[in-house]
A = this chain, B = another copy of it.
């Protein structure tokens, strides 16, 4: 068994939805899908069509007659539910579950996540097979997710529980950032133009105002190319002459 949680759909109805689940899974790097009693049978062309190319998931689907069979080889099982079941069960968020799954799978524990069918979700007997319940925090007045979207949110949390994308970055650009000297040079040329155009209300305000302007450009994290463009703008505006 590979190092990822298995997704188990219990009593799904439409092949379309199984396909969309496969797509959402692969979006998040998951490939192992088990299906218990698909209403419209298997294989399913609508499932393949809606998988949008996630054939690796569709081709690998395993079928089961009972939920019990589908989880028999698993050592840790979560059940996703949208409503309380009156059972004494640990209820976790998808994010918390993702952390637990990473830990368990890191210890070679076989893990799976149960999702119920479109109409009413998992029956209590299925929930009772699970070690814990995953409940997605949503608008309490409008909680009903479709099946693929429920899978997507849980799989997404799994994916980003190890994602090392920096939360914020500048898009890669071949253009190197401008040096301070280049910015200085631009600012002094701009300052000269502003002097000639009588921009500053008083000599005392000049340094403060220039500092604010420099700060404005500095916030833009200029590249060398940007600074060349700005030089060109100064030249062009001066050549344009006073506005008619």
A interface vs B, CB < 8 Å?
Answer: 20, 23-24, 26-29, 52-54, 84-93, 95-96, 132-133, 135-139, 142-146, 148-149, 152-153, 156, 159-160, 163, 165, 167-173, 175, 190, 193-199, 209, 212-213, 216-217, 219-223, 226, 229-230, 232-243
Contacts and interface: CB of A to CB of B under 8 A. Distances in A.
Given A90-B168, A171-B91, A240 B156 contact: no
B156 A197 contact: no
A138 B27 contact: yes
Oligomer copy total: 2
A142 B27 CA distance: 5
B142 A53 contact: yes
A97 to B, nearest CB: 9
B235 A238 contact: no
Given A199-B235, A219-B220, 17 more contacts: A27-B138, A27-B143, A29-B139, A52-B144, A91-B168, A92-B169, A137-B160, A149-B152, A153-B153, A193-B240, A194-B233, A194-B240, A197-B235, A199-B236, A209-B229, A235-B243, A238-B243
A146 B29 CA distance: 16
A239 B168 contact: no
The residue in A135, A136, A236 that gathers the most chain B C-beta atoms within 10 A of its C-beta is A236
A138 B159 contact: yes
A26 B171 contact: no
Contacts of A145: 27
B28 A169 contact: no
A19 to B, nearest CB: 11
A165 B93 contact: yes
Contacts of A234: 237
Given A91-B169, A159-B138, A24 B237 contact: no
A120 to B, nearest CB: 15
A223 B89 CA distance: 11
A134 B238 CA distance: 38
